[in-house]
A and B are shown apart, each in its own frame.
Chain A
Amino acid sequence: AQSVTQLGSHVSVSEGALVLLRCNYSSSVPPYLFWYVQYPNQGLQLLLKYTSAATLVKGINGFEAEFKKSETSFHLTKPSAHMSDAAEYFCALEDSGAGSYQLTFGKGTKLSVIP
């Protein structure tokens, strides 16, 4: 069975500091991987996706993520945190071999940005 593990349910960084949110996955087939952001009382917005092309993926708002098959990881980074980055972030996996293309999500990491 496929799964997603996000290390750290809550991460705090200072404004201007590096953001690193960790995601590890388990999948029996080559995965498609996603990062979504969720602001309070809102739906999920796609930040970026990996679909077996370039392993370094650039997304919106200055975020990027690197797919590392050997480490089964897809960590999200941003060089310099902004106050507006405070939100909850979810890593998700789509089983490319499944007909439904449903997403399996991690439990999320809440990012706080300290002024």
Chain B
Amino acid sequence: DTGVSQNPRHKITKRGQNVTFRCDPISEHNRLYWYRQTLGQGPEFLTYFQNEAQLEKSRLLSDRFSAERPKGSFSTLEIQRTEQGDSAMYLCASSLPNEQFFGPGTRLTVL
């Protein structure tokens, strides 16, 4: 399958723990995005990479969040000292011009 993949699909953690999510984009796409989706809301933009460079970050991305994309391939999103408000679906997308392809998401539950 050549779509966007995300791992893990589900993560349950206790408040205060660190978590890391991985996104593998479609191989020829040089743009990669992270979005967060909470219940009853549309996805909200978090951050954007062009190749390995992180070019834009939303104000939603607090200091506890960090994202990387080494070598312009897969990307990781780490949340440190998780809070209950971090519970959400985290979506990754990779992009051609004018079309973003989304992965299945990682659902995070913080207890």
- Interface, chain A (partner B; CB < 8 A): 4, 9, 32, 36, 41-46, 49, 51, 90, 92, 94, 99-108
Contact = CB atoms under 8 A, between A and B. Distances in A.
Interface of B: 4, 31, 33, 35, 40-45, 48, 55-56, 91, 93, 95, 97-105, 107
Given A103-B45, A104-B45, A105-B42, A43 B4 contact: yes
A105 B99 contact: no
Secondary structure of the B side of the interface?
strand
A36 B99 CA distance: 11
A24 to B, nearest CB: 14
Nearest to A44: B102
A44 B43 contact: yes
B31 A101 contact: yes
Nearest 5 pairs of A and B residues by beta carbon? A105-B42, A43-B102, A44-B102, A102-B45, A100-B56
Contact of B99 (A49, A104, A107, A108): A49
Given A102-B33, A102-B56, A46 B99 contact: yes
